[in-house]
Amino acid sequence: MLNRICGVILLIVPCFVYGQKSRCLVQQEQPINNAYKHGHGSTRLENEVLTINVVVHVVYSTDEQNIPDEQIHSQINALNRDYRRLNTDASLTLEVFKSVAADAGILFKLASSDPLGYSTNGITRTFTDKPFFEGDNSLFFDSLGGKNVWDTRRYLNIYVTNLADSFYGFGTFPGTDSLVDGVAIDYKAFGTQGNLAEEYSQGRTATHEIGHWLGLTHLWGDGQSCDVDDGLSDTPLQEAPSAGCDLGKTSCGTLDMVQNFMDLSDDSCMNLFTKGQALLMHENLKKFRSDVITSSIVLSSKNIDKQMVKIHFAGNEIVINSSQLIYAYKIVNLTGLVFVDKKRVGRKTINIPLSNDISGSMLLIHIEGQHGYTVSKLIIP
């Protein structure tokens, strides 16, 4: 069985090795999170959702490594589920941890323009004669067989390539040199479709590594003792990394949070960030990576009781039933693409035909009613 190591480049220290390929590597330097040690100070607004501008660089030496666009899109979708706690396995979070599990309020969108302003699909493809990349800086430079980063102030740079046999990914903390700032994922652990390693086939390696890019450490603080932790009060002390999915694993006198995205469990085991982690990621985004934010919205209900608005499927239609008049409604997906935007409606029941190209999507439905405004989330089967 393959296992994970995890990490951040520059000063690389193996954090966990079972003798086979593992999730990532880890950098000795840690992000600043002391403000969260005994509580959660944050600038996050209630229900705020931030969208991050993303470019994916595919650096390949074989046809198999040159993964298709569909596999890349499946990873972006997985990130958007995990960071909004819309993952279907969220219901499996252990009861003891459900009260601290959080919607992290972060979305990811492939870039629509490159650094020069030209239109793009947010994906680059570069052939390399290097059979694999170690956890060093070479991946970030054309001259060393990799691919130069796009402006790291404006883009989250995600690299997909063949990584060395010992790990599946690495990432950089806020404050890293801008020439080597980003996340790298092995092509066999990227997305939810394709030729993937069985234990890492749900896109959680990218979820984990981007957590580092947003300033999160491992739950055990990379010290592997009960005297060191991640600086967050709502993740229990943990002595060392987890593997597989041992839900009964304990250390430091408490149950370990092995389902947390910042542990090293299998993809099928992971399903939550905590409220403290969500607050810290928002804080770091705004302080250190604000230029990558393409949009900031607040999902809120003003005066409208959501129980007064019912949304359901009927055949190939979305049906909205409201106890008050609906003046306007808009339907968008998680990338911000607008499917429907209607004004001057003046009805209590609305039937909206679905097109085939949005099956499997997650939608946000904005409704302006007679007495207020609400936003609902809807997953299209």
Give the pLDDT score at 2: 44
236 and 360 co-located in one domain: no
Domain co-membership, 115 together with 20: yes
Which stretches of the chain score pLDDT less than 50?
A: 1-2, 8-20, 27-41
Asked if residue 50 belongs to a domain, the reply is yes
Residue 305, pLDDT score:
57
pLDDT confidence of residue 66: 98
Same domain, 305 and 270: no
Question: Domain residues for 216?
Answer: 12-295
Q: Is residue 3 part of a domain?
A: no
pLDDT tens digit string along 106-148? 999 999 999 999 999 999 999 999 999 998 899 999 999 999 9
> In terms of domains, do 51 and 166 share one?
yes
Same-domain status, 94 and 161: yes
Residue 347, pLDDT score: 86
State residue 131's pLDDT score. Answer: 96
Q: Which residue, of 273, 295, 317, is where some domain finishes?
A: 295
> At 329, which CATH number?
2.60.40.3080
SS3 assignment, position 331? strand
Do 121 and 88 reside in the same domain of the chain?
Answer: yes
In this structure, which long-range contacts are made by residues 338-343, counting pairs with CB atoms below 8 Å and at least 24 apart in sequence?
339/363
Q: Write the CB contacts of 287 (distance below 8 Å, at least 6 apart in sequence).
A: 174
Helix, strand, coil percentages (3-state) for the chain, rounded to 5, are: 20, 30, 50
Instruction: Give the model's pLDDT for residue 210.
Output: 98
CATH code for the domain in which residue 196 is found:
3.40.390.10
Q: Look at residue 226 in the predicted model and tell me its pLDDT.
A: 92
Same domain for 338 and 222? no
Q: Looking at residue 138, what is its pLDDT? A: 96
**pLDDT on residue 269:** 98
Q: Which residues in 25-63 belong to E strands, given as ranges?
A: 26-27, 48-60
CB 10 within 8 A of CB 27: yes
Residues 289, 161 share a domain: yes
Query: Among 295, 323, 356, where does a domain finish?
Result: 295
Note the pLDDT of residue 353: 86
Query: What region does 10 belong to: left with phi over 0, alpha with psi -120 to 50, or beta?
Result: left
pTM score, whole prediction? 0.79
Residue 37 placed within a domain? yes
Calculate the alpha carbon distances from 48 to 107, 272, 280 in Å: 11, 18, 14
Report pLDDT for 327.
Answer: 80
Same domain, 223 and 316: no
Q: How many domains does the chain have?
A: 2
Residues 169, 150 share a domain = yes
DSSP designation for 355: P
Q: Is residue 4 part of a domain?
A: no
- Model pLDDT, residue 9: 45
What's the Cα-to-Cα distance from 83 to each of 37, 99, 104, 201, rounded to whole Å?
22, 17, 5, 17
Q: What's the rounded Cα separation, in Å, for the pair 291 and 223?
A: 32
pLDDT at position 29, please? 44
Judge if 225 and 274 occupy the same domain: yes
Q: Catalytic residue positions?
A: 209
Half-sphere exposure of 335 (CA within 13 A, CB side): 16
From 139, 106, 72, select the one nearest 284 (Cα to Cα). 106
What CA–CA distance (Å, rounded) separates 296 from 51?
6
pLDDT at 30: 47
Q: Among 227, 260, 295, which residue terminates a domain?
A: 295
Domain presence at residue 350: yes
